[in-house]
Amino acid sequence: MSSSPVRLIGGFGTLFLLGFMAALLYPRLSAWWTASPRKPAIVLHGDPQCDPSQRTCTVDFPGMTVGLSLQGPLRTLVPFSVTVQVRNSSSSQPTDVAVSFSMVGMYMGDNRFILSQQDSTTWHGQAMLPVCSSGRSDWRVVVEIGEPPTYQADFFAAIRP
């Protein structure tokens, strides 16, 4: 007799909690789609046939060559190494280098990693990616030079779930 109203209240409580959580998340969900892009950068695309997990893929900006290579077993949820090489014909070297991983047409979260400088031309860091709920492995890798980025080099890499 007495357990039924309690169960009813418990059911409504759960529904209320779910609704409350959805309402809390909603501004963040909509922000994903309306987030304004960063300041304009010079964007160049690498050869889509070049896989940075196999060799160093490069993009030539005016006066600067940016190379990307990925090392280690390339799997989601497993850390792997990222190496960026910047060869600049001018004397000014970039100070901030980061890589950002995303998927075309699918929000995969914020997967941006700041690299640290190893020597005059090499930046290095670790990255780890989430599993794609659609089972995709086609990741877009953007190398960002400068903060905010003044140069962006786009590459593609296969990173399996």
Residues that bind Cu ion (CB under 5 A): 103, 106, 132, 136
Least separation in angstroms between residue 101's CB and Cu ion is 10
Least separation in angstroms between residue 11's CB and Cu ion is 34
Least separation in angstroms between residue 52's CB and Cu ion is 19
Q: Which residue is nearest to Cu ion (CB)?
A: 132
DSSP calls for 122-155: EEEEEE--PPPTT---EEEEEEEETTTTSEEEEE
- Residue pair 151/87 in contact (Cβ under 8 Å)? The answer is no
Residue placing its CB nearer to Cu ion in the complex, 4 or 134: 134
Rounded distance between C-alpha atoms, residue 113 and residue 134, angstroms = 23
Residue placing its CB nearer to Cu ion in the complex, 90 or 134: 134
